[in-house]
Amino acid sequence: MRTRTTTAGIVAALALALTACDDATKTDSAPPASTQETRSAPAPDSGTTKASSAQLPAFTGMGLQSAQDKAQELGFYTLTSHDALGRGRNQIADRNWKVCSQTPAPGMHSTDTKIDFGTVKLEESCPATDTSDNTPAAGDKMPNFAGKSVKVARQALDAATSLTVEDALPDGRMVLVESNWKVCTQTPAPGTALNGQPIALTAVKFEETCP
């Protein structure tokens, strides 16, 4: 009887051990959890759009307003204009001005190119040479302002300069719209060293002759 009990105990122990090994084998052989594929997101769009190119026509002879409208139709939106006579006048009413020159010249250009129109009033003649870039700049010496508009002369001087302008004719008129008046005389003379001294100009209207 004792032998049977011992044998039965051994059998039971072996069965328990085999069961434990089987469970461990199942646990170890379980497939690993699936890994989801990670894809890198595309780089965000910088938002920068390259400007296209278009044929820039010749605008010479056109009214300023018409030239601007045409340029915008073609995709050119960066537009500016200046007084081709060098008087520094502003083109307030575009329909009252006509185009004498343009920068850049006609041809293929990027549509983000700045277009600059040299203009005169409708009743005026275009100059042989655009004089807008000939404005003298006052540095250490007095520029020659003869024939320049009073407005241009004032802009060339330091903003702190004391400047007086009088009618060169005996009429004693007030110089109100300075771009309509041209310089006849100046004190100090051209080439004089500038050290903050007051400056005096005499002027007449552009259609008049200096005395």
**Are 86 and 124 spatial neighbours (Cβ–Cβ below 8 Å)?**
no
**Are 126 and 100 spatial neighbours (Cβ–Cβ below 8 Å)?**
yes
Q: What is the DSSP letter of 35?
A: -
Q: What percent of the chain has pLDDT over 90?
A: 72
Is the pLDDT reported for residue 74 higher than 70?
yes
Q: Mind listing the pLDDT tens digit for each residue in 132-155?
A: 877 768 889 999 999 999 999 999
Q: Would you place residue 5 in the very low, low, confident or very high pLDDT band (cuts 50, 70, 90)? A: very low
Q: What percent of the chain has pLDDT over 70?
A: 76
Domain boundary assignment for the chain? 53-121, 135-205
> Which residue did the predictor score with more confidence, 14 or 149?
149
Q: Would you place residue 26 in the very low, low, confident or very high pLDDT band (cuts 50, 70, 90)? A: very low
What's the residue count for the chain?
211
Q: Domain 53-121 carries which CATH code?
A: 3.30.10.20
CA geometry: angle 118, 120, 123, nearest 5 deg: 155
Cis geometry, peptide bond prior to residue 104 (ω within 30 degrees of 0)? yes
Q: Which helix (H) or strand (E) holds 201?
A: strand 199-205
**Are 96 and 133 spatial neighbours (Cβ–Cβ below 8 Å)?**
no
CA geometry: angle 5, 11, 17, nearest 5 deg: 135
User: Which residues partner with 117 through β-bridges?
Assistant: 81, 102
Is the pLDDT reported for residue 9 higher than 80?
no
Q: What is the pTM of this model?
A: 0.70
Does this chain's domain 53-121 share its CATH topology with 135-205?
Answer: yes
pLDDT at 51: 80
pLDDT at 137: 80
Give me the chain's average pLDDT, please: 85
Residues 6+ apart with CB under 8 A from 210: 168, 182, 184, 185, 204
Average pLDDT over residues 102-121: 98
The CATH architecture that domain 135-205 belongs to is 2-Layer Sandwich (3.30)
